Amino acid sequence: MLRTVKTKYGILEGVPCGDPRITCFWGVPYAKPPVAELRWAAPQEPEAWEGVRHADRKPPIAMQPQPGEDWTDFYTKELNPTGYEYTLSEDCLYLNIWSPAKSDKEKLPVFFYIHGGGFTAGYPFEVEFDGERVARNDVIFITVGYRLNALGFFSHPELRDECLGNQGLLDQLAALRWVQENISCFGGDPTRVTICGQSAGGMSVSSIINSPLSEGLVSGAIMMSGGGLRPPKGGVGPWLSMEEAERFGVELFEAVGAKNLIEARQVPASVIMRTALGRWKDGKNGPLRWRPVIDGCFFEAELRDVILSGKNLNVPIMIGCCRDENRPRAGAFGGLLDMEGFRKMICAEYGDQAETLLSMCDLSSEEAFQKFQHDEAGLAMGYTGAMAYARNNAALGRKAWTFVFDHDIPGDDVGSFHGSDMWFVFDSLGHSWRPFSGKHYDLARQVSSYWCNFVKTGDPNGVDRIGEKLPEWKPFDEEDEFTICFKDAPVRFDEGNVELKRFTQKHFLE
């Protein structure tokens, strides 16, 4: 097996996985450590090294609140049960690479994964990721660490000549450029690199394929529970203006007592992070004040405008969400509105079309409305944004495959919650505390095969890992509107109220 590779920067020696046919290269540097005078700078090319670098241990994770310490948090149990073991550091710009190649001549397709966490938290080896299982599908699997929160999405008037912001996204692009230059050494094909991400990772994927800086770096894109089209009046996740972002930067300097950029770069990273995430926790924007900015460089315009105009990368995409993402529970994002709050929200968003939409909703009683709101996917921004993105792609004559996860989650009554799809995509059910059984493992084999087929060919259809033909997954078409639903097995998503779904999707396209 290919255990030692010679990259542009030096020789790397990986380690065999539990399946010895897979080699993992942990902690591969793709940029210089962004510390001291490089804090908040654009990523710089890594330095070469002498001799053999042993890529045998997990690298530090980006500065964030230590994951895994709050055992009352829903996601500690689900995704971060060992997060407390990992070292936090600004020095976090590393790749982790799993390769099944026997030689550097194989030209295997590349599955490049970007973790989520609201641009504030998360790391590239959470318990639900299983690079070994993915690589067994004859692809090279890569996870990337990138800067987060105020260390990765920061603007300030003094930084205009160095980096306008979006440091975390520029990190991801730097990693993709590193892959272009070096992945052939690992047996990979630099012309077949598919990027995939969940939540903020999905938003990152959307950001990359809608940036003029990504030309030639990506052959396909998968957006999971993030990255869909936003409604005309914004919704959650529109990027900041430079004016807003720089104002937040000035406020942070004041909060940590730094008079200028030189002093701010001397403040401990932990102080920057804790202040940025704590001081404005209950105020406007809160932690989401540290998010991408329309800088005129990485983004020439708001994503919505780029998507609608078709001035983005013309690559095949897969996009979708989990069915119960908005379901009220521990760890949920917000909750359901009462009927009056819902009316106000719809009137504010839909204007003179509001009554048309309200006429499609069950407002016969508060109880009936709550059930309707809970059950109707067409009211969920994640679902509607994904389908609107695909509908726009179809109108442009481009390929998009859409999906909804509505899988059975054993252990407690939480439904297909935000992030639960990752266990199936990475075929990693054995890492979960939940009592998954045979049907879940069958579904995981099928889902992971769809994802890897897409990485290989730009089309999810074909056979699964054991050679069985997968149920047909048609690309989204404006007439057929096919979306696959992952229940106990893959089936067509078809739960009625088509008129409402079309109405909300077309509103997103206005």
Q: How many helices (H) and strands (E) does the chain have?
A: 16, 14
Tokens (6 digits) for 333: 């994002």
Contacts of 410 (CB under 8 A, 6+ apart): 434, 435, 436, 437, 440
**CB neighbourhood size of 346 (10 A):** 19
In DSSP notation, 120-181 reads TS--TT-TT--HHHHHTTT-EEEEE----HHHHS---GGGTTT--S-HHHHHHHHHHHHHHH
Report how far residue 462's alpha carbon sits from residue 467's, in angstroms, rounded to the nearest whole number: 9
Letter string b/e over residues 226-243, b meaning 16 or more CB atoms within 10 A of that residue's CB: bbbbbbeeebebbbbebe
Report how far residue 154's alpha carbon sits from residue 411's, in angstroms, rounded to the nearest whole number: 40
Report how far residue 196's alpha carbon sits from residue 223's, in angstroms, rounded to the nearest whole number: 6
Instruction: Find the distance separating the first CA and the last CA of the chain, reported in whole Å.
Output: 53
Provide the 8-state DSSP code for 8.
T
User: Any catalytic annotation for residue 199?
Assistant: yes
**CB neighbourhood size of 255 (10 A):** 15
Residue 413 to residues 74, 151, 408, 417, 435, Cα–Cα distance (Å): 13, 37, 10, 10, 13
Report how far residue 103's alpha carbon sits from residue 507's, in angstroms, rounded to the nearest whole number: 51
Catalytic residue among 199, 207, 416, 420: 199
358 and 450 Cβ atoms separated by less than 8 Å? no
Contacts of 226 (CB under 8 A, 6+ apart): 116, 197, 198, 199, 200, 201, 202, 203, 205, 206, 382
Greatest C-alpha distance within the chain: 73
282 and 204 Cβ atoms separated by less than 8 Å? no
Active site residues: 199
